[in-house]
Amino acid sequence: MMEQNILINRTIEKIQIAEDKLAINFVTSEGEVLVRVDADCCSYTWIEHIELPALGFPALVVAVNDLEMPDLGNMEEYEVIAYYGCKISTDKGDIVIDYRNSSNGYYGGSLSWPTDDYYYGGVYSQAVSENNWIDVVKDI
């Protein structure tokens, strides 16, 4: 059985993104929830876009699900881009996180939740954020 996501039944008051786009901090009435991107060996993962709930904050989280993202193809500076998404459903609308991974095509990325039980940071610490926070006040 899959464990329930830590955000469910929490009320998000605001979202912060790290300047390096390697982490998101959910500030909730129950405390902060730090979510990082993770990258397999020889790859790099980053947060590309965050869509905020239409009716703003505070917003009670009712579900968190992976989201199938369209393949937009590769960009010149990367060999292969993988597109990932996460949808956080709230009573004020959805929060959509679009995150991406660049690699030679053999590796991938993920969101690393505080309750996940695996190594974080990438083999070469390529996914370790400096956690310099910026408030997300509009879709980025």
Q: How does pLDDT run across 67-108, given as a tens digit for each residue?
A: 988 677 666 665 888 899 999 999 999 999 999 998 877 788
Confidence of residue 48 (pLDDT cuts 50, 70, 90): very high
Q: What is the pLDDT of residue 1?
A: 39
- Report in angstroms the alpha-carbon separations of 78 from 45, 73, 105: 12, 10, 10
- Report in angstroms the alpha-carbon separations of 79 from 12, 22, 71, 131: 36, 20, 14, 28
Q: Which residues have CB under 8 Å from 51's CB, separation 6+?
A: 94, 95, 96, 97, 98, 139
Q: Give the whole-angstrom CA distance, residue 77 versus residue 134.
A: 26
Report yes or no: 5 and 87 within 8 Å, Cβ to Cβ: no
What percent of the chain shows pLDDT beyond 90? Answer: 56
| Residue with tokens 């956080």, as numbered in its chain | 88
Confidence of residue 119 (pLDDT cuts 50, 70, 90): low
* 137 vs 94, higher pLDDT: 94
